Amino acid sequence: EQKAKGKDGFTIFENCMHLNSIKFIQLSNRLREALPNKELLLYFQPQYDIRTGELFGLEALIRWNHPTKGFIPPIEFISIAEKTGYIVELSEWTLKTAIEQKREWDKKGLPSVKIAINMSGCVITNTKVFENICNILDELKIQPGEIEVEVTETAVMMELDKAKIHLQKLKEYGISIAIDDFGSGYSSLNYLNLLPFDILKIDYEFLNKIKNKEDESLIYQTIIRLAHDMNLSVIAEGVETIEQLEFLKKYQCDIGQGYYYCKPIPAIEIEKLLLSEISMVHETLD
Ligand code: C2E
Ligand code: MG
Ligand code: MG
Ligand code: MG
């Protein structure tokens, strides 16, 4: 009986695998059409200076607006693109689109803010990402200091040496490097020393977990202090409530990003936000 059960279980598992690989292939083929079909777009989420409340930067977040399925979350299709290698093409598009968008805002005379771009580890380690970014920035006359590249540690630890060389080049050129989702996954404090980071983004799960819990709060405070001791700026991800913001203020976290401030929004909405920044400056001058 035991055996029969096991066998059944195995059959189900096998079918499941089969189904998953069909879905994988379908979605991965479909994703290649998304770019030419113009179904991909960038949303942007503002980041704010916690102390002054000033706009600090905008994180570009990719969106796939599928004609029948609606918005497919990036965590679903980015991992597929990483497995098939399509991520290289996708990243080139993201980079170019984000920087072009910034150029457009600058040309309209809107306040100039830094743009943060997420980069998959395999793109950092296996492509001419440096030459690529330099060319785009050169062509569009954007200062490297206006760009931040975000990488997760799990993504770069596979090929640490290459990652180090490529990130170092970007940093020397003037681009800021952020470690994304710090504290999630297999965080090792070692990476903070090995890779040339300027900014540390604390994973939103940490802030979520605090809710009056002494020890969780202590971990958070310690990460902030450690980052500051290493000359890194700290961005808190997932700031959702005023209580969380007060906590971050109290422990001198530098920058906040999350639904409390603003959700990721389309470029046209960002434009309105940048316009209101101008009128705010005028109000304080009056
Ligand atoms: P991430 O870089 O850590 O981006 C932050 C994610 O947190 C975003 O999810 C954002 O919508 C979400 N978020 C923002 N504020 C809050 C909040 O207050 N509470 C909560 N619970 N979540 C918040 P999103 O846009 O779904 O992106 C997910 C991940 O997909 C990103 O995580 C990033 O790793 C990846 N990703 C997005 N765009 C790109 C891209 O252009 N290239 C690459 N390689 N990866 C991307
Ligand atoms: Mg990010
Ligand atoms: Mg993150
Ligand atoms: Mg994340």
Give the contacts of 169 (CB within 8 A, at least 6 positions apart): 130
pLDDT (0 to 100) of residue 1: 38
Q: For residue 263, how far is its CA from the centre of ligand 4 (angstroms)?
A: 14
Q: Which of the four pLDDT bands, split at 50, 70 and 90, describes residue 215?
A: confident
> Looking at 62-71, 93-102, 225-234, 277-286, which range is the least confident one?
277-286
ipTM above 0.95, yes or no: yes
* Nearest CA owner, ligand 1 atom 21: 238
Higher-confidence residue: 186 or 151?
A: 151
pLDDT one-digit tens code per residue, 242-285? 999 999 999 999 999 999 999 999 999 999 999 998 877 666 66
The atom of ligand 1 lying closest to the CA of 152 is: 34
CA of 45 to the centre of ligand 3 (A): 12
Ligand 1 pocket test target in 31, 41, 44, 61 with most atoms within 8 Å of CB:
61
**More reliable by pLDDT, 236 or 187:** 236
DSSP secondary-structure letter at 46? E
- pLDDT score, position 5: 46
* Rounded (10°) CA dihedral 82, 84, 89, 95: -10
Q: Can you tell me the distance from the alpha carbon of 193 to that of 184, in angstroms, rounded to the nearest whole number?
A: 17
Ligand 1, atom 34, lies closest to the CA of 118
Report DSSP letters for 78-147, one per residue: HHHHHHHSTHHHHHHHHHHHHHHHHHHHHHTTPPP-EEEEE--HHHHHHS-HHHHHHHHHHHHT--GGGE
Ligand nearest to the CA of 91: 1
Q: Which atom of ligand 1 is nearest to the CA of 239?
A: 18
pLDDT in tens, 75-88: 999 999 999 999 99
Residue 120's pLDDT is 93
pTM over 0.90, yes/no:
yes
Residue located nearest, by CA, to atom 4 of ligand 1: 61
More confident residue, 20 or 103: 103
